[in-house]
Amino acid sequence: MTALDIDFVRAQFPAFAEPSLQNQAFFENAGGSYACRQVIDRLTRFYTQRKVQPYAPYKASRLGGGEMDEARARLAALMGVATEELSFGPSTTQNTYVLAQAFRKFMKPGEAIIVTNQDHEANTGPWRRLAEEGIEIREWQIDPQTGHLDVAQLESLLDENVRLVCFPHCSNVVGEINPVPEITALAHAAGAFVCVDGVSYAPHGLPNVDDLGADIYLFSAYKTYGPHQGIMVIRKALGALLPNQAHYFNADTLYKRFTPAGPDHAQVAASAGMADYFEALAVQHGHAGTAAETGAFVHDLMRQHEITLLQPLLDAVKDRNDVRLLGPATAETRAPTVAIALNRPAEPVAAELSEYGIMAGGGDFYAVRALSAMGIDPNEGVLRMSFTHYTSQAEVAKLIEALDRVL
């Protein structure tokens, strides 16, 4: 496979040319990524030329509505699903909240949901609250040393009462990539649906949701080079079963069924810029093919670059006895989201790193359950260094050097 053209990539992100951000290496991408120029350009165009109520017959409105439809169609195609299976909501947290309301009505008391303690709170708290409705909540627990989710343990939790299994594609602090197709196959065999939080995975290459087999796949556009939106894939079969959460007259439109509020028109439209960017990357690297093939090509291109850069960072922290690396030390099995526990509050160390031109964060990152389960005080938190395919080798080297100074 061809190597990622990092100069081309960085030229697509205005932040890298922004004077106020010079000489600062960005390592808090799991919090929110830089936006690509394609998204920024579309957002500006929408606000200047198309900022009217969409789907009316006049030109500005037709163009605005058309651009919103285009965003859904092109992102869905890149992810191997039908256009109506992809919808936008204000955030992933809000999307799971609405889905939990739908499952509240769909499920009967005595039925069960499996949640993990590896998830960000967004894909666990709203489900756990359904205990108040008489739904049984079963917790699939991580290994307290490694943070690993063992599939064998899930098997022992599954039975005919389980309707739903909620888990992350990868955790935002452990970083390990969970075997989604294997987990999904087990859940389906037991008669349960799955809800996968892909927020920490999607920025490293959009997955093909059809191949994964997931019934629900969630991620956040603002961490995936786009505007501040949550994106949700709900497959048709499940979407038709769950009770409508939108206005009654929108019940037959799958992409409206689980998004009760009017969407942010400009941001939905600007999300088409994410597809522009992924397609531009494919063209730049000599690839041509269907949308799903383009999605897979760009995914592998990004992952390959990230894996090459990630291993030296893991090697630099894994054997130090003053820090504890969460998750695996092998780059192939994880996302480039590297959290380390320090036995002291992490936030001041992130502040020290900023003096060396490193932008990173310290805290619990809303993964309070995961940190607690691993014996880490959430008030001290972890130092998290997260990067993406647009990060350069020089920036990782700079981070490793800065870590040497502050640890």
Binding region for ligand PLP (CB under 6 A): 91-93, 120, 122-123, 168, 172, 197, 199-200, 220, 230, 366
**157 CA to centre of own chain:** 26
Q: How far is Cα 213 from Cα 80, in angstroms, rounded to an integer? A: 11
Minimum distance from CB of 175 to ligand PLP (Å)? 11
Token duo for residue 391: 């990060």
Give the nearer residue to ligand PLP in terms of CB position, either 199 or 233. Answer: 199
- Residue corresponding to tokens 């970083």: 175
Closest CA to 369 of 147, 73, 109: 147
Give the nearer residue to ligand PLP in terms of CB position, either 173 or 272. Answer: 173
Closest CA to 225 of 96, 389, 8: 389
Minimum distance from CB of 25 to ligand PLP (Å)? 20
Give the nearer residue to ligand PLP in terms of CB position, either 225 or 297. Answer: 225
Minimum distance from CB of 189 to ligand PLP (Å)? 26
Minimum distance from CB of 239 to ligand PLP (Å)? 20
Q: Count the Cβ atoms, other than its own, within 10 Å of residue 297.
A: 21
Closest CA to 93 of 172, 178, 207, 187: 172
Q: How far is Cα 175 from Cα 129, in angstroms, rounded to an integer? A: 26
Q: Count the Cβ atoms, other than its own, within 10 Å of residue 90.
A: 17
Give the nearer residue to ligand PLP in terms of CB position, either 87 or 294. Answer: 87
Closest CA to 219 of 210, 237, 207: 207
Q: Count the Cβ atoms, other than its own, within 10 Å of residue 89.
A: 23
Minimum distance from CB of 199 to ligand PLP (Å)? 3
Minimum distance from CB of 230 to ligand PLP (Å)? 5
Token duo for residue 279: 């397609």
Give the nearer residue to ligand PLP in terms of CB position, either 39 or 158. Answer: 39
| Host H or E run for residue 163 | strand 162-168
Residues in the chain: 407
Minimum distance from CB of 221 to ligand PLP (Å)? 8
Give the nearer residue to ligand PLP in terms of CB position, either 54 or 205. Answer: 205
Give the nearer residue to ligand PLP in terms of CB position, either 29 or 294. Answer: 29
Closest CA to 267 of 44, 114, 93: 44
Minimum distance from CB of 282 to ligand PLP (Å)? 26
Q: How far is Cα 11 from Cα 33, in angstroms, rounded to an integer? A: 15
Give the nearer residue to ligand PLP in terms of CB position, either 71 or 281. Answer: 71
Output the DSSP codes for 212-223. HT-SEEEEEGGG
